[in-house]
Amino acid sequence: MNATDRALIEQNQLFRGMDFTSVEYMLERCSERNLVAGESLLQPDVPNHHLHLIVAGKLSVRLAAQESLEHATLGAGECVGEISLVDGKPPSALVVASEPTRILSIPHDTVWSLVNHSHEIARNLLGIVAGRMRNDNRALITSNDTRKQFEHQAYVDALTGVHNRHWMADAFARTMHRCALNRRAFTIMMADIDHFKRVNDTHGHLVGDITLKTVARTITEKLRPSDLFVRYGGEEFAMLLPDTDKFNALMVAERLRKAIEDTTINHGDLSFQVTISIGITPTQNEEKLESLIGEADHALYRAKKQGRNRVVIFG
């Protein structure tokens, strides 16, 4: 190796805090390699028998399942391939040069000779492996947080903050099955804001959005923690009340209707009130959700036809 490369290798994290001249002779069996941008150094499931020291340039680490996404970037003074050294298994990631890169590849048996020769190298190698595991743990936590965020966005209505129809299908089905299994009554409700189009046409969509959020919040506050509540679409909401028979469902529906009727929508100098119509279908049989929604929707339609701001039971 030339003097420039020697100086760069001496600064590598593997040789930190030690006398490099005491082990320099052990690197005579090592090979130097020049990678062009885009060239692979390590590939998933391809055996790796070297610890690779980055002399100059940069390497991009990409997870096998997402080779188009960069997981980490490694530069001069760092190394790669240490996990294969420890566990003897092929790499789990793809490592490619992101620019022209010069590598010093140390065979595994030479690395272990260096470890046996120097406590400093053993300590440094342990630190490298621990650092890699720590970074992977951080990446895993970030990935899980991102996944949870995506799940939240997929199942929660962005405007009102209540669950949406994507969440409804599974959540309603599970609760219905549990109630039917225990021979407990449950009720499906469909609620719709009366004359909502008039609100939008008269006051604008911003006020319409405020109305939707106010109605959703008011209903949420009046329901039990065990009740399921979703924005079904537009100005329509769906609810599933477990352990609720016809008599109690009527009481709940009237309480919701009255709560909305008594709520004032405020925006600047504007104040007004809206009402809701509700259709309900109580049952204790595990019928298809679509059928029960249809029945509650039919009852809701009748409530609208009868003058709105009222509760109607299907049947």
Active site residues: 235
The burial class, CB within 10 Å (0-12 / 13-18 / 19+), for 141 is exposed
- The residues facing 42 across adjacent strands are 95
143, 187, 153, 161: which is closest to 293 by C-alpha? 187
Tallying the residues shown for the chain, one arrives at 315
- The residues facing 51 across adjacent strands are 106
Answer yes or no: are the C-beta atoms of 199 and 274 closer than 8 Å. Answer: yes
Q: Which long-range contacts (CB under 8 A, 24 or more apart) does 18-23 make?
A: 18/118, 18/120, 18/121, 18/124, 22/117, 22/118, 23/114, 23/117, 23/118, 23/121
Task: Tell me the CA distances in angstroms from 123 to 6, 126, 132, one per residue in order.
Answer: 21, 5, 14
Q: Which contiguous run of DSSP H or E holds residue 92?
A: none
**In this structure, what are the phi and psi dihedrals at residue 17, rounded to the nearest 5 degrees?**
75, 25
Strand ranges (E), 108-227: 186-193
**In this structure, what are the phi and psi dihedrals at residue 266, rounded to the nearest 5 degrees?**
-120, 135
Contacts for 61 with CB less than 8 Å, ≥ 6 apart: 70, 71, 72, 73, 74, 80, 93, 94, 95
